[in-house]
A and B are shown apart, each in its own frame.
Chain A
Amino acid sequence: MSDVVLSARGLAKSYLSGDRRIEVLRDVTLDVAAGESVSIRGESGSGKSTLLNLISGLDAPDSGTILWAGAPPAGERRARYLGMVFQSFYLIPELDAEQNVLMASRIIRSPGAAERARARDLLARVGLADRARHLPMQLSGGERQRVAVARALVNSPRLLLADEPTGNLDEHTGDAVIDLLLDLCRATGTALVLVTHNAAHAQKTNRSLFLHTGALR
């Protein structure tokens, strides 16, 4: 299946808490096709963020396999293949909005005119064309998250992972950010895995899954 950007098979993950081993994920299987949007809901502590960490290759599963377009995750591929949006925006305070967006490009190579144009274009598409030179401390929460969305998309990734991106935003701003995220992914053909508590946001994706007692339904 050449259009499968993410294939996770039989993922299991557990942690030691004192003497007790806590099973967080059990036999989780997930396929995401190119351009598809998938939401994952679940209670706090159900393992949603752990699953995203495994998918992104930032953490290793105890068992199971993960493939990005048929190849195992690798650190050096992450910058090109994956975009990530977090609940906390994680903008670098010393860089302005455009420089923060370009930071994801810099990890791959020094940005040229094309990368700068793309960063400015993305900032315009998230409605921040006139805030490109503003530092994160000069932006509101919603604006910061929109900068983070632009940063996640600047390398034209095949897959975007969003871990509760509206968790630190009010309802109205959160709705706007989710709509923006979905629109941009649709426009760029980027697959989206959205972890959220919000049922309304989940319903906007192509497929809605629920993580309960370590299993995905």
Chain B
Amino acid sequence: MPWPVYLALKQLFPTGRRFPFFTAISVMGVALGVMVLVVVTSVMGGFGHELRRMIVQTEGEVQVKAKGLLDDVGGVLKAVRATPGVAAATPYVAGPVMVLAEGRPAFPAFRGLDLESVEDVVNLQRFVHAGSIAELDDDSVILSAGVAQHLGARLGDRVEIFSPLFIERLKRDEIFLPRQYRVAGYFEIGHQHLDSSTIYGTLRAAQEIYGLGSAVHGINVRLLPGVNEVEASSRINRSLPANVEAMPWTRSWESFLWVLNLEKTINFFLLLFIVIIAAFSVMSSLLISVVRKTREIGLLGALGGRPRDVALCFCCQAFVIGLTGTLLGVAAGFGVLAIRNDLVRAIAGVLNRQDTLKQFYQFTDLPAHTLPGDLILTVVAAVAISTLAGLLPAWRAARLKPVEALRSE
């Protein structure tokens, strides 16, 4: 082992002596910074992962849309279902509506489902907490829990639905009366946005509300397990007319996914400052070490040690402090993630805010998903920053002249 590495390890982990205090403080600083980075990137990753999972669960991996309305539903469905890798496909109509219940309005998105094929693509039944998809017909709707709560609507109640077509007809002095629908159930997916502003009805009901005739807005496609959505989209497109396009969910939600990644990246860089501050602690403890060990540094020069080897000794110390702190931080981070929900519940319990969390966050439990890439980036960044913090002390140590260092008091 080269002597700078040997001496660095001996100074950090001295035989028969306690772990040096300043080193311990530096290691703890790096560990805390890394722990926070691991926890936050994992929780942000968890939110992203859950959102992606819900998008795919509720819309399928591929969406087929036309430039305008999709008229030839049967032909396109046949072509899509015949494409290798496609497990199932279901048409849908989606758009904003106004719902009135006992004079109380709500403005959710209405999603019309083809009851014969929807369960093959989107397993909605498992999200329905009251009522059943089987009870849905052309005269009924299933409300999301948030919409039902807002309207105060219960099972069996009747609600009135107004569509944009209502305004279009009014412009032409025509009266288009709203239709009444029976509440056949409530659903709760666990996604705050969907749970607060969505209602489900049949495809025919939606086509009637929007005056579409037999046309639909699009087709959701479920792929066989392991099939890549981009490649599947390309295959589907080869069998579709020119005005119809299949696109993977990653492209349909491109902007949303970009914002998710941007949030995570910004969080990472903001929290990286904790590691940078910890690196200043590493730097100051090593600078103190250079001052305290001035005569030893002089001795190493007198024994024939080269200045660059003296510098390497301090850089090694910074590297080992960074690596030790990072490994401890990663372990502590995973420890915190393991008890994250208990911690959140405990904090919410102390503040008496259990319901507030559920109301404003999109998930009942705090999700966590650690991507290997995020973990590698955290480890590399923390170790690199800590090692860089050793450069100034290393430079100071290398500049010491042995004669002056040996004379110092």
Give the residue of A76, A77, A110 whose beta carbon is less than 8 angstroms from that of B2.
Answer: A110
Give the residue of A84, A104, A135 whose beta carbon is less than 8 angstroms from that of B17.
Answer: A135
Q: Given that A75-B306, A106-B3 are known contacts, is A99 also in contact with B403, CB under 8 Å in the complex?
A: no
Residue numbers in B under 8 Å from A104 (CB-CB)? 303-304
Give the residue of B1, B16, B406 whose beta carbon is less than 8 angstroms from that of A90.
Answer: B406
- Tell me whether A108 and B304 are in contact (CB under 8 A): yes
Smallest CB–CB gap between A68 and chain B, Å? 13
- Tell me whether B403 and A58 are in contact (CB under 8 A): yes
- Tell me whether B7 and A92 are in contact (CB under 8 A): yes
CA distance A125 to B12 in the complex (A): 31
Residue numbers in B under 8 Å from A90 (CB-CB)? 295-296, 298-299, 406
- Tell me whether B14 and A94 are in contact (CB under 8 A): yes
B6 adjacent to chain A (CB < 8 Å): yes
CA distance A110 to B306 in the complex (A): 15
Residue numbers in B under 8 Å from A95 (CB-CB)? 10, 15
B301 adjacent to chain A (CB < 8 Å): yes
- Tell me whether A76 and B304 are in contact (CB under 8 A): yes
CA distance A95 to B8 in the complex (A): 11
Residue numbers in A under 8 Å from B46 (CB-CB)? none
CA distance A17 to B326 in the complex (A): 49
Residue numbers in A under 8 Å from B16 (CB-CB)? 96, 135
A173 adjacent to chain B (CB < 8 Å): no
CA distance A93 to B299 in the complex (A): 13
Size bracket, chain B contacts: 20 to 34
- Tell me whether A79 and B2 are in contact (CB under 8 A): no
Residue numbers in B under 8 Å from A110 (CB-CB)? 1-3
Smallest CB–CB gap between A100 and chain B, Å? 10
Q: Given that A88-B295, A94-B11, A94-B14 are known contacts, is A58 also in contact with B303, CB under 8 Å in the complex?
A: no
Interface residues of B in 295-325 (CB under 8 A from A): 295-296, 298-306
Give the residue of A88, A93, A99, A103 whose beta carbon is less than 8 angstroms from that of B303.
Answer: A103
B402 adjacent to chain A (CB < 8 Å): yes
Give the residue of B3, B17, B299, B406 whose beta carbon is less than 8 angstroms from that of A94.
Answer: B17
A59 adjacent to chain B (CB < 8 Å): yes
Residue of A nearest to B302 (CB): A84
CA distance A185 to B15 in the complex (A): 32
- Tell me whether A58 and B402 are in contact (CB under 8 A): yes
- Tell me whether B296 and A92 are in contact (CB under 8 A): yes
CA distance A103 to B406 in the complex (A): 17
Interface residue count for A (Cβ, 8 Å)? 28
Interface of B is mostly: helix
Residue of B nearest to A56 (CB): B302
Residue numbers in A under 8 Å from B304 (CB-CB)? 75-80, 82, 104, 107-108
Residue numbers in B under 8 Å from A99 (CB-CB)? 10, 15
CA distance A13 to B17 in the complex (A): 43
Residue numbers in A under 8 Å from B306 (CB-CB)? 75-76
Smallest CB–CB gap between B291 and chain A, Å? 15
Residue numbers in B under 8 Å from A93 (CB-CB)? 14
Smallest CB–CB gap between B334 and chain A, Å? 33
Residue numbers in A under 8 Å from B401 (CB-CB)? 58
CA distance A13 to B49 in the complex (A): 73
Residue numbers in A under 8 Å from B305 (CB-CB)? 79, 107
Give the residue of B6, B15, B299, B403 whose beta carbon is less than 8 angstroms from that of A135.
Answer: B15
Smallest CB–CB gap between B314 and chain A, Å? 14
- Tell me whether B10 and A107 are in contact (CB under 8 A): no
- Tell me whether B406 and A107 are in contact (CB under 8 A): no
Smallest CB–CB gap between B144 and chain A, Å? 66
- Tell me whether B302 and A58 are in contact (CB under 8 A): yes
- Tell me whether A58 and B15 are in contact (CB under 8 A): no
Residue numbers in A under 8 Å from B17 (CB-CB)? 94, 135
Smallest CB–CB gap between A189 and chain B, Å? 21
Per-position 1/0 for B1-43, Cβ under 8 A of A: 1110011001100111100000000000000000000000000
A53 adjacent to chain B (CB < 8 Å): yes
Smallest CB–CB gap between A49 and chain B, Å? 8
Interface residues of A in 18-69 (CB under 8 A from B): 53, 56, 58-59
Interface residues of A in 172-205 (CB under 8 A from B): none
CA distance A9 to B354 in the complex (A): 88
Smallest CB–CB gap between B305 and chain A, Å? 5
Residue numbers in B under 8 Å from A108 (CB-CB)? 304
CA distance A108 to B300 in the complex (A): 12
Residue numbers in B under 8 Å from A56 (CB-CB)? 302
Q: Given that A94-B10, A94-B17 are known contacts, is A84 also in contact with B403, CB under 8 Å in the complex?
A: no
Residue numbers in A under 8 Å from B3 (CB-CB)? 103, 106-107, 110
Return 19 A-B CB contacts under 8 Å, by A number: A53-B403, A56-B302, A75-B306, A76-B306, A77-B304, A86-B406, A88-B295, A92-B7, A92-B10, A94-B11, A94-B14, A94-B15, A104-B303, A104-B304, A106-B6, A107-B3, A107-B300, A107-B303, A110-B1
- Give A contacts to B, CB under 8 Å: 53, 56, 58-59, 75-80, 82, 84, 86, 88, 90, 92-96, 99, 103-104, 106-108, 110, 135
**Which 6 pairs of residues, A with B, have the shortest CB-CB distance?**
A79-B304, A94-B14, A106-B3, A90-B299, A78-B304, A94-B10
Other 17 A-B pairs with CB < 8 A, given A90-B295, A94-B10: A53-B403, A75-B304, A76-B306, A77-B304, A78-B304, A79-B303, A80-B304, A86-B299, A86-B302, A90-B298, A90-B406, A94-B15, A94-B17, A96-B15, A103-B7, A104-B303, A107-B304
